[in-house]
Chain A
Amino acid sequence: MNKNHRVPSNRTLGAVEVKSKFGAEFRRFSLDRSKPGRFDEFYRLLQHMHRIPNVDLLVGYADVHGDLLPINNDDNYRKAISVADPVLRLFLQRKEEADYSAFGLDTLTRPKKTVLAAMLLRPDANRKKPLVIISLPRDFRPVSSIIDVDILPETHRRVRLYKHGQEKPLGFYIRDGSSVRVTPQGLEKVPGIFISRMVPGGLAESTGLLAVNDEVLEVNGIEVQGKSLDQVTDMMIANSHNLIVTVKPANQRNNIVRSGGAASGSSGHSSDSGTSFYGYSSPGIALATTPADIIQNFHPEELESDEDDEDLVMEVDGEAMPIPRTSSASCTIPFIPRYMPHLDLRTTNGALASHNRSGSLRTLSTADSGLEGRSLEEEGTVITL
């Protein structure tokens, strides 16, 4: 409220008024708009002002739209200074208890226009623009999602696990078992595949979307009925970079109950049936065995663009290197967090190439491939397919 009464008249234009909040405490100070300095200086200043020299902080500010945006590098620091009008309102959090979810969301009472936030936080939403990376990418990588909620029966759940080469294991086991189906002849026991175990700390467990004794119905759009445990294992491993499993959860109490009428295709997917799209098995049979209520709507391109397309080719030009001695040394390099244009798996080569040029991505391909780093300094030696 008092903001409305504040008149920026007698302030010099070169100064930025800063109101910094840490817990219940406020500090006020000002900065020179023309010479904001570097982020780390600013960070130390904040620690000093709040007298919390040894506390790791997460710095956020409220932008003009009321969105909470992070300040963690020189770029967004300068941006924050430049948009401060006239007060720069800072919100400090201890890093260990930081609520990341607050960022980018409309937490600061502004109901409209989150466009800027979206633009800044999802750099690939408009891939033509040069991107400003404003946050640690790993904070924003999806690891799993429930998809096709709108078209699946409530008793089924389609889960997508993203395994971008990270070190966390997928972390689940499957087994044979039998489930009961209702058929015109009455109840029938049919063999099925079930999740038998979760690895603690694994991706599958951490998502909470899969559980022991869930029945596996499909793997990346292919029905598992009639397939052996080993076939299903192989299929899952072959799709492990982008695994989509449709399960019938053992615990049906957590199902999403949808009110009345079928939700519209909010996912924007066309709903053509992809049942026989993989139709190496004859379409007729596949249709006959498909439970009528499961409709698949994967986009072919989406599945086709999964990571295994990115076989890595290294061109080695120049001198004969019959026996590279150090070739596998890089395999032991600890994993480097890397940025992946993962949010849209339809990323084209062009986009990737442009990232490549931006420089910050050079290391990620190395890690991605696990291949020798020896020729990676050369310009354009790494291409993905």
Chain B
Amino acid sequence: MMKFRFRRQGNDPQREKIKQELFAFNKTVEHGFPHQPCALAFDPQLQLMAVGTKSGAMKIYGSPGVEFTGLHRDAAAVAQIHFLQGQGRLLSLLDDNTLHLWELGGASRDRGGAKSEGVVYLEEKRNYSLLGRPGLESCSASRVTVLLLLRSCDLLCVGTEGGGIHFLDLPRLSLRDNQSLLLDQVMQSVPEDYRCGKSLGPVESLQEHPKQPGKILIGYSRGLVVLWDLSTCNAEHMFLGKQQLESLVWERSGSSFVSSHSDGGYSVWAVASGNTYTHQPVSSSIPYGPFPCKAINKILWRTIQSGCPVVLYSGGMPRASYGDRHCVTIQQDKQHVTLDFTSRVIDFFTVHTTDLEHDYDDPKALVVLLEEELVVIDLLTTGWPSVPPPYLAPLHSSAITTSCHLDNVPAKLWDRLAAAGNSQGAQPGVRHAHGSWPICGGKNLAPPPRQQELLLTGHEDGTVRFWNVSAVAMTPLYKLSTANVFHTDCDPNDDPLDPTNDPEALQEEEWPPFRKVGCFDPYSDDPRLGIQKISLCKYSCRLVVAGTAGQVIVLGLSDEWSDHTVDVSTVDLLQDREGFTWKGHDRLEPRASPAPFPPGFQPLVLVQALPPASVTSVMLHAEWNLVAFGTSHGFGLFDYHRRTAVLARCTLHPNDSLAMEGPLSRVKSLKKSLRQSFRRIRKSRVSGKKRPIPTPTSKIQEANAALADQEEVAPVQRRIEPRSADDSLSGVVRCLCFADTYLRDGTHHGPTLWAGTNSGSVYAYALEVPGVGSGRGRPGGEGSGCVEAVLGKEIQLMHRAPVVSVCVLDGRGKPLPEPYQASLDLATAPDMTNPHSVLIASEEQLKVFSLPKVGAKTKFKLTAHEGCRVRRVAMVTVCSTAQEDYSETSLVCLTNLGDLHLFNVPALRPQVRYDCIRKEDISGIASCVFTRNGQGFYLISPSEYQRFSLSAKVITEPLCTVELERPLETHISDDAAIPLRANGTHRNQAEGLTEDPQCGLSSPPPLSPLDSPLSMADVSLDTTGELTVEDVRDFLTSVDEVENNLRNITEEDGCSLGVLIT
């Protein structure tokens, strides 16, 4: 039977065509902040900023919406990036000592008949490995320390560890033979008494003379600075510094320069002509002295027409008291601010006038790239406020624990949220600067978004952040903190009114004048505050957030400040179950006194589940004023209008002891085992990631080594046993669902509540909601009586797999509309005349049952056929590219192998399958969230969402153009021809081996690189709140698999070689 179906479908060209018009998989854009950035550059001419990452990705940003990425073939960290100004080319230096020249390329893409212009990407044109001695790299004298691109853009000076300087022609990237400037040449001109027989050390800085092209300033580590004339190959001037040098910067006129040193001081040197040697600087100071200070790593000296020059430098803090701070100091005359960041300073630059006609720098803004965020300071406005960046938002300012997407957000809600967000932004120190965003290169060609989309992220510190994800640039809209509902031990730092938080007040007393800048704050006051589940009704502006300590908070939107106490209601989910004692954490203590709540979402009721286990699912039905929530012990139903609990149902299995332990102890042990497995990975990586040297002997050796390895390792075993009823955590409520449908008989429909558990049970309750239901009055009436819940059905799936989702389908097989959609005429009314059905998705199979009889109609046994398990499912409506009004509702299903399967509904026939996430990336898989129109997001690192699209029509991707001096080369290309573009996403070698044979259902998956930039050793469990035991088990097993795959690869190499020999 099924064979037939597949066959017929596979061969039906008509259907194939429709499928192609409907479905297409694209990874479109990365939102958030690049993981582990390590290089920064700016092109003042094009107004573009480049960020390089540890995984070899380069991301270019201009004005909001303008962004493009490039990815090095080797996953080596990007050490430096330099723009060839105005040319749309850039040079990157990797930490494997290779240089790469990149060029912006344009492409127009043929997508579904409509050409989309403006796909700009980076393409590697050339690369150069210095002196070709990679084997000796780390200690070698040829290791590159600094690069200097002359303004003419035709010559690259390369300073090395050994002190030599080499010259490369650009853009050919070829070495000028015999022109290298070696130490001996310089030494000849150094006076005898300075030499002391010591080396000058590595080249620390190279700076071109601002006025006289062809002259460069060379700074050696030991302190010697040489003004070198390239045309005459002659040292014009020597500055005999005694202090170890860190960086150099010219004053704009070229009459002086500034050097910064490892002792935390900086010196100003005058460049007077005629004098060959200068022994002393004009002035010298150690700003945070007199006690020993750390080095000033980089210094900038910017002149201003209207006053004293601005000095900006990083580091230099007193070693003993503030040596661990990450600081950048801005100093101008008497004004002095020490920007105090929460993460390491990678690099910084100023946006200033580069026009040669202009006599002053007049810096507009300071851009600081930190390890975890980007901070921009407006230098034109007094007080130097920070400017909120329109992109590169630090998603992970506290670890993301859950997320939730809403599309078609009504303008009313949007505006109120934006207003609430703006009032939050008006805090001191984060004030909105008047100046606009300083980096404004390129032109955004993307059409304005068709609808407003919201992404809500729940965080470990109890905040919920609302992001605008309507377009390519993901911007923060509003931030909600739930910590002030509770009484916590720590100072309520989240309280925006707290005067101790005011940096200006602190400034008076303290030296250095610290100012906290940025929002990255990974430390949570209390892990119990963590947000686990979110449900928002966009029409009624009701929000429910539920957290780690069993708290379920119902909030309403308000535009005014409010001072009120929050009603607290507890629901005991254990009921009178004997023999259980909760050993986990305590509940959070609700705040007794009224608290001030800022405009925005304000708490109405706090429902506390007991035992206070983490909430595992939550569902809001604002039209019925009901909220349902589930934990590992059971589920409850609460009427927040009447503030009464309607139902509490225990789902515990008597043998389930783990459910009583609480998550914290488990997390710890999970973390431990994860850590161990990471160690294993790291080990295997170290051994597996040998640089492939293409000699046959080494290959054989490797193969032999791999074989030997294999014999050592005890094989991994898996037990084959059916799930039993008393598996641990069987009572966890995995999903909840409200629906107006036929539960008890085929003639009367009414409100129902569905709950699915970890052990394959589904409970269906018929609800009596006053004013709702057949034959009753209109909703909204002050109906008397309470909501009642009557158990209607219990379904036990025989395979006992966890129920991932329950969804009721109407008479046409379409999912029921959201609350209010039908009553407000925002969606087509559900078909209530034909029989309804319910789609129950478990981890193992998808099944549609008829209602009210609950007879099986269709099913698809995914695990039995594919060996993969369902992790996430969602109903998506995908529009056709060909016909404007044609759309199909599909069930999309993300599996533990990281692939996406699409099924039609209710027939549950497989439509397409795409590889999406690496199966090792459990936090990626656990974080995936789908939109209703066929897009999705998942975390590729703690700080970045990858956005993807399953729809051929709805694609949110950067479309932009950059005005260059040279014409932008334009290719007409299909997607596959575009080079690697995702962030650090190298295709895992092991992947191709196991995945490819089975991906053939219909359209082959596009050649999209599999994510993610994480070297797996860096995954922190904290980033996802929804890891289940299975996830971890999956992960642990997949680790072994990786090892095995690696082994297999090497083994195969060995084998094929053997064939060659014979």
A154 within 8 A of B: no
Nearest A-chain residue to B910, judged by Cβ: A280
Does chain A have a CB within 8 A of B492?
A: no
* Bound CA span A321–B650, Å: 12
User: Which residues of chain A have C-beta atoms less than 8 A from B1037's C-beta?
Assistant: 229-230
Interface residues of A in 287-307 (CB under 8 A from B): 289, 300, 304, 307
Q: Min CB distance, B167 to chain A, in Å? A: 52
Q: Are A235 and B6 interface neighbours, CB within 8 A?
A: no
Residues from chain B with a CB closer than 8 A to the CB of A319 are 790
Contact of A300 among B2, B649, B715, B1001 (CB under 8 A): B2
Once bound together, how far apart are the Cα atoms of A307 and B799, in whole Å? Answer: 8
Quick check: A173 and B856 within 8 Å, CB to CB? Answer: no
Contact of B798 among A175, A176, A310 (CB under 8 A): A310
Residues of A near B854 (CB, < 8 A) are 313, 385
* Chain B hits for A170, CB < 8 A: 720-722
Measured between C-beta atoms, what is the minimum distance from A380 to chain B in Å?
Answer: 12
Distance in Å: Cβ of B654 to nearest Cβ of chain A:
5
Q: Which of B527-550 contact A (CB under 8 A)?
A: none
CB distance from B957 to the nearest CB of A (A): 29
Interface check A196, CB cutoff 8 A: yes
Residue of B nearest to A369 (CB): B796
Q: Identify the stretch in A1-9, A72-80, A101-109, A183-191 within 8 Å (CB) of chain B at 4 or more residues.
A: A183-191
Contact of B722 among A163, A220, A235, A322 (CB under 8 A): A163
CA distance A320 to B647 in the complex (A): 10
The answer to whether A370 touches B796, judged by C-beta atoms less than 8 angstroms apart, is: yes
B421 within 8 Å of A by Cβ?
no
Say yes or no for B1000: interface residue by CB 8 A criterion: yes
**Within 8 Å of chain B (Cβ to Cβ): is A344?**
no
The complex places the Cα of A270 from the Cα of B647 at a distance, in Å, of 54
Q: In the complex the two chains form, what is the Cα distance from A327 to B763 in whole Å?
A: 13
Distance (Å) between the CB of B123 and the closest chain A CB? 34
Min CB distance, B915 to chain A, in Å?
14
Q: What are the residues of chain B within 8 A of A236 when measuring CB–CB?
A: 720
In the bound complex, CA of A241 to CA of B2 (Å)? 21
- Contact between A277 and B856, CB atoms less than 8 A apart: no
The answer to whether A176 and B1044 touch (CB under 8 A), given A313-B795, A331-B654, is: yes
Q: Which of B718, B849, B913 has the most CB of A within 10 A?
A: B718
- For the complex formed, measure the closest distance between the CB of A239 and the CB atoms of chain B, giving whole angstroms: 5
Beta-carbon contacts under 8 Å, B778-837 to A: 788-799, 801
Count of chain B residues with Cβ under 8 Å from any Cβ of A? 77
Name A314's contact: one of B720, B793, B994, B998 (CB within 8 Å).
B793
Q: B897 contacts the other chain (Cβ, under 8 Å)?
A: yes
User: How far is it, in angstroms, between the C-alpha of A185 and the C-alpha of B1056 when the chains are bound?
Assistant: 10
How far apart are the CA atoms of A325 and B1051 in the complex, in Å? Answer: 59
Closest to A282 in B: B1000
- CB atoms of A237 and B720 under 8 A apart: yes
A229 to B1043, CA, bound (A): 12
Interface flag for A308 (CB, 8 Å) = yes
Among residues 144 to 175 in chain A, which have CB atoms less than 8 Å away from a CB atom of chain B? 163, 169-175
Query: A285 at interface (Cβ–Cβ under 8 A)?
Result: yes
Knowing A197-B717, A279-B6, A283-B10, the reply to whether A328 touches B653 (Cβ < 8 A) is yes
B1048 within 8 A of A: yes
CB atoms of B793 and A316 under 8 A apart: yes
Decide yes or no whether A62 CB sits under 8 A from chain B.
Answer: no
Which residues of A355-385 are within 8 A (CB) of B? Answer: 369-372, 385
Collect the chain B residues with CB atoms within 8 Å of residue A314's CB: 793-796
B281-289, B668-676, B861-869 - the one binding chain A: B861-869
Q: Tell me the minimal C-beta distance from A374 to chain B in angstroms.
A: 11
CB of B403, distance to nearest CB on chain A (Å): 26
A222 contacts B by Cβ under 8 Å: yes
| A residues near B650, Cβ cutoff 8 Å | 323, 327
Contact of A175 among B715, B792, B855 (CB under 8 A): B715
Bound form: Cα–Cα A234–B844 in Å: 9
B1054 closest partner in A (C-beta)? A189
Binary per-residue interface labels of chain B (701-738) against chain A in the complex, 1 for a CB within 8 Å, 0 otherwise: 00000000000000111111111011000000000000
Given A316-B791, A385-B854, A276-B798 contact (CB < 8 Å): no
Contact of A173 with B865 at beta-carbon distance under 8 Å, contacts A228-B1041, A331-B653 already known: no
| Interface: B115 (CB within 8 A) | no
**Interface residue A86 (Cβ < 8 Å from any Cβ of B):** no
Please report the C-alpha to C-alpha distance between residue A276 and residue B4 in the assembled complex, in whole angstroms. 10
As a 0/1 sequence over residues 223 to 245 of chain A, the CB contacts with chain B under 8 angstroms (1 = contact) are: 01011111111111111110100
Give chain B's interface secondary structure class: mixed
Q: Which residue of B lies closest to A273 (CB)?
A: B3
Q: Let me know if B720 and A240 touch, CB within 8 A.
A: yes
A313 to B2 CA separation, bound complex (whole angstroms): 26
State in angstroms the CA–CA spacing of A180 and B267 once bound together: 72
A274 at the interface (CB under 8 A from B): yes
Residue with the greatest number of chain B CB neighbours at <10 A, chosen from A233, A238, A239: A238
The listed residue (B718, B726, B798) touching A233 by CB distance below 8 A is: B718
Given A316-B791, A316-B793, A328-B652, the answer on whether A289 and B718 have CB atoms closer than 8 Å is no
Nearest chain B CB to A307 CB, angstrom units: 6
B1001 & A280 in contact (Cβ 8 Å cutoff): yes
Number of A residues near B (Cβ < 8 Å) is 80
Given A311-B798, A313-B854, check contact A176 B654 (CB 8 Å): no
Q: Does B1038 contact A (CB under 8 A)?
A: yes
Cβ of A311 and Cβ of B723 under 8 Å apart? no
Q: Is the CB of A237 within 8 A of B715?
A: no
A324 to B721, alpha carbons, bound, how many Å? Answer: 31
Q: Name A226's contact: one of B2, B744, B793, B998 (CB within 8 Å).
A: B998
Partner of A322, one of B649, B652, B721, B793: B649
In contact, B3 and A274 (Cβ under 8 angstroms): yes
User: Whole-angstrom distance from the CB of A333 to the nearest CB of chain B?
Assistant: 11
Q: Is B1059 within 8 A of A186, CB to CB?
A: yes
Residues on the A chain within 8 Å of B795, using CB:
311-314
A224 neighbours in B (Cβ, 8 Å): 867
Q: A325-B576, A331-B654 are in contact. Are A230 and B790 (CB under 8 A)?
A: no
Q: A228-B1041, A234-B868, A323-B649 are in contact. Are A308 and B718 (CB under 8 A)?
A: no
Complex Cα–Cα for A232 and B716 (A): 13
Inter-chain contact B798/A312, CB cutoff 8 Å: yes
With a 10 A CB-CB cut-off, give which of A175, A233, A241 has the most chain B CB atoms.
A233
The answer, yes or no, to whether B686 is at the interface (CB within 8 Å) is no
A309 near B: Cβ within 8 Å?
Answer: yes
Is B647 a contact partner of A322 (Cβ separation < 8 A)?
yes
Interface residues of A in 239-288 (CB under 8 A from B): 239-241, 243, 274, 276-285
CA–CA, A280 and B893, complex, Å:
15
Known: A175-B715, A188-B1055. A169 touches B863 (CB 8 A): no
Contacts of A311 in B (CB 8 A): 795-798, 847, 856
Quick one: closest B residue to A186, CB to CB?
A: B1059
Q: Are B721 and A240 in contact (CB under 8 A)?
A: yes
* B715 close to A231 (CB less than 8 A): no
Q: Taking CB as reference atom, which chain B residue is nearest A375?
A: B794
- Please, which residue of chain A has its CB at the minimum distance from the CB of B768? A320
* Bound form: Cα–Cα A309–B796 in Å: 11
Given contact pairs A230-B1041, A235-B864, A322-B789, A370 touches B725 in the complex (Cβ within 8 A): yes
Interface flags for B239-271 (1: CB within 8 Å of A; 0: not) read: 000000000000000000000000000000000
A123 at the interface (CB under 8 A from B): no
A224 to B718, CA, bound (A): 15
Knowing A312-B795, A369-B796, A385-B855, the reply to whether A175 touches B1048 (Cβ < 8 A) is no
Residues of B within 8 Å of A328, CB to CB, are: 652-654
B575, B994, B997: which has the most chain A beta carbons within 10 Å? B997
Sample (24) of A-B pairs whose CB atoms are under 8 Å apart: A163-B722, A170-B722, A171-B721, A175-B715, A175-B718, A176-B715, A189-B1051, A229-B716, A229-B1037, A234-B844, A235-B867, A241-B722, A279-B3, A281-B866, A283-B10, A285-B1000, A311-B798, A311-B847, A319-B790, A320-B791, A321-B790, A322-B647, A329-B654, A331-B654
Q: Which 10 A-B pairs have the closest CB atoms?
A: A231-B867, A282-B1000, A240-B722, A238-B863, A277-B3, A233-B718, A175-B715, A238-B864, A308-B798, A235-B867
